[in-house]
């Protein structure tokens, strides 16, 4: 393959055009675009059998406002890829890529022209296929080089949902196509995941929404999807992709790396025997810890730790939440509650009792100080649980908790305190506080409203010894309906810029005649100063944001 080869002359997955100065044409090998078939806006400049070192890459910005992407390449990466990894190509564009490296002690500089193909997406809802448009509103000096990964979901899959679980219930019907891409601060697409390589609604191991994206300490990406969980690098090279352990099933929402090199995953169980003898698939109510090799090291069964019959919030969510039959009082004896349910259906629907979506865990964090986990259960609240499976505290409205947990509910102190409602993410900041995205659906146990709502990014300080909680900061309440996200979303502290990173990811979700327009912000810690605002305009019906995150290229290569 030579420098004059054109894209249409090459097999799918390797299209390129490369141009280098005449004197350097023989130094390196081929340029391969989309080398692992999963990340079409990446490439490798093969080393041609030469020993390179100290490589640096710069993908030039497109147009006057284009953002240049620059990064150093470690020798580890040069060996792994057999050449220089190129990340951040513009789609359907002849990209100008500058590389430098040392060869035999000499610094070599070259410029390549690398064509990357247009974004290719599956046609799903309403026979359309388009990534959302990212509109920059505010980008303060010092934030121009930010890269953001967006994780959106499309629930309307023509011909999908053909695969169903059996009578045990379960979450196979909760399927969606993921739109996962990285945009720069100018809103331009610089990476996306070719979802058709890993998603297939008609096969057990291919269904499910891609969710829970995080960048690990070694710069890789982790996520889960239905019955699998995965770790890949940014070029699309698979590190591992595994089925869930046989005892467990139905991943969604969260996978987290711990400082111990283990991973925490939110799952259900494949076969759960209730006290009344019924066997069900439990729904979004277990957390497992697995090793790098995939062995299960521990698990937390929230059915045994919390109360699966606390249903106060479920009645407010605008769905047919299954409650105990009229006239039946919740009893301290769990078996009595289960017998009173009669033949109410099981499955992934809001409702009380094991085998229904009573908890809806959507986030996990790990506290290394006392070897505990912090769980965001959308239908219950935020709970800290020790390795001994004992509840340390509960951050949630006090109504409905059973007697043995009532003293674990934190007591508010200070001014301006508000509980969070149907929250997403509850993560430690690293400086003694906890951030929560307070969605606000069902606020104060009120019925669903189509206007007059608000969501918040909120920061709490918990005094575990005293059993108290203080609200120390919030953002978003004053923006009302135009920032209100009843589901999904994220807030996470960024130590590198001392900002709270926030994605209000489901604006307009409750008005289906509108497409979602979600909002990404970075706000100076402890203030209302917005240093980044991007608006993300959906161009497909049924598209909703789940989360977003900052991508750090310094760790990746």
Residues with catalytic function: 424
Contact partners, residue 518, CB within 8 Å, separation at least 6: 132, 485, 503, 504, 505, 506, 507, 535, 536, 538, 545
Contact call for residues 50 and 103 (beta carbons, < 8 A): yes
Q: What distance in Å separates the CA atoms of residue 417 and residue 426, rounded to the nearest whole number?
A: 17
Torsion from C-alpha of 349, 354, 355, 357, nearest 10 degrees: 20
Question: Are 410 and 419 spatial neighbours (Cβ–Cβ below 8 Å)?
Answer: no
Q: What are phi and psi of 481, to 5 degrees?
A: -65, -30
Q: List C-alpha distances in Å: 305 to 114, 272, 387, 466.
A: 55, 15, 12, 22
* Eight-state DSSP code of residue 526: T
Residue partners of 393: CB distance under 8 A and separation at least 6: 383, 384, 408, 409, 410, 462, 464, 467
Q: Is the dihedral of CA 545, 550, 555, 557 positive or negative?
A: positive
Cite the beta strand spans of 88-132 per DSSP E.
93-103, 106-116
Q: How many CA atoms lie within 13 A of 367 on its CB side?
A: 21
Which pair of tokens denotes residue 112?
């390549």
Task: Give the contacts of 350 (CB within 8 A, at least 6 positions apart).
Answer: 314, 317, 319, 320, 321, 322, 356, 357, 358, 360, 379
Cα dihedral angle (129, 130, 132, 134), rounded to 10 degrees?
A: 180
What does the block give as tokens for 325?
């039959």
- Taken in order 383, 387, 391, 393, is the CA torsion positive or negative? negative
């Amino acid at each position: 393959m030579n420098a004059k080869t054109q894209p249409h002359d090459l097999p799918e997955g390797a299209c390129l055009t490369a141009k280098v100065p005449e004197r350097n044409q023989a130094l390196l090998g081929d340029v391969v675009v989309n080398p692992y078939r999963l990340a079409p806006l990446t490439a490798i400049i093969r080393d041609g059998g030469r020993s390179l070192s100290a490589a640096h890459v710069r993908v030039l910005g497109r147009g006057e406002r284009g953002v240049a992407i620059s990064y150093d390449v470690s020798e580890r990466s040069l060996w792994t890829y057999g050449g220089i990894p190129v990340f951040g190509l513009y789609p359907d564009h002849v990209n100008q890529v500058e590389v430098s490296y040392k060869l035999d002690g000499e610094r070599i500089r070259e410029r390549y022209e690398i064509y990357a193909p247009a974004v290719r997406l599956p046609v799903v809802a309403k026979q359309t296929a388009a990534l959302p448009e990212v509109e920059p509103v505010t980008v303060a000096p010092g934030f121009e080089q930010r890269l953001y990964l967006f994780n959106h979901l499309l629930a309307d899959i023509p011909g999908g949902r053909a695969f169903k679980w059996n009578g045990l219930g379960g979450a196979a019907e909760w399927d969606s196509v993921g739109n996962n891409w990285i945009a720069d601060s100018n809103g331009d697409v610089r990476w996306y995941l070719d979802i058709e390589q890993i998603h297939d609604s008609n096969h057990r191991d291919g269904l499910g929404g891609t969710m829970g994206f995080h960048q690990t300490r070694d710069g890789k990406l982790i996520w889960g999807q239905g019955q699998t969980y995965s770790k890949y690098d940014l070029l699309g090279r698979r590190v591992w992709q595994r089925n869930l352990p046989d005892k467990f099933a139905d991943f969604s929402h969260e996978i987290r790396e711990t400082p111990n090199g283990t991973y925490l995953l939110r799952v259900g169980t494949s076969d759960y025997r209730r006290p009344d003898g019924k066997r069900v698939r439990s729904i979004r109510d277990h957390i497992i810890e697995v090793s790098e090799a995939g062995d299960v090291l521990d698990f937390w069964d929230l059915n045994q730790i919390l109360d699966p019959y606390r249903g106060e919030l479920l009645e407010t969510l605008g769905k047919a939440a299954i409650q105990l039959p009229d006239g039946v009082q919740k009893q301290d004896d769990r078996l009595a509650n289960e017998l009173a349910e009669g033949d109410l259906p099981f499955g992934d629907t809001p409702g009380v009792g094991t085998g229904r979506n009573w908890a809806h865990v959507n986030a996990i964090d790990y506290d290394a100080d006392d070897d505990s986990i912090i769980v965001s259960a959308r239908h219950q609240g935020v709970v800290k649980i020790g390795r001994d499976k004992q509840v340390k505290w509960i951050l949630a409205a006090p109504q409905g908790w059973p007697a043995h947990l009532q003293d674990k509910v934190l007591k508010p102190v200070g001014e301006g305190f508000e509980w969070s409602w149907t929250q997403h993410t509850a993560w430690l900041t690293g400086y003694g506080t906890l951030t929560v995205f307070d969605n606000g659906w069902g606020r104060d146990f009120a019925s669903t409203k189509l206007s007059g709502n608000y969501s918040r990014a909120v920061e709490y300080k918990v005094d575990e010894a005293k059993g108290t909680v203080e609200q120390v900061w919030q953002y978003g309440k004053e923006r009302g309906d135009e920032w209100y996200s009843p589901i999904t979303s994220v807030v996470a502290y960024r130590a590198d810029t001392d900002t709270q990173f926030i994605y209000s990811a489901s604006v307009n979700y409750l008005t289906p005649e509108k497409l979602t327009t979600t909002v990404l912000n970075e706000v100076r810690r402890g203030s209302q100063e917005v240093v980044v605002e991007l608006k993300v305009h959906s161009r497909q019906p049924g598209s909703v944001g789940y989360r977003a995150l900052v991508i750090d290229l310094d760790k990746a290569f």
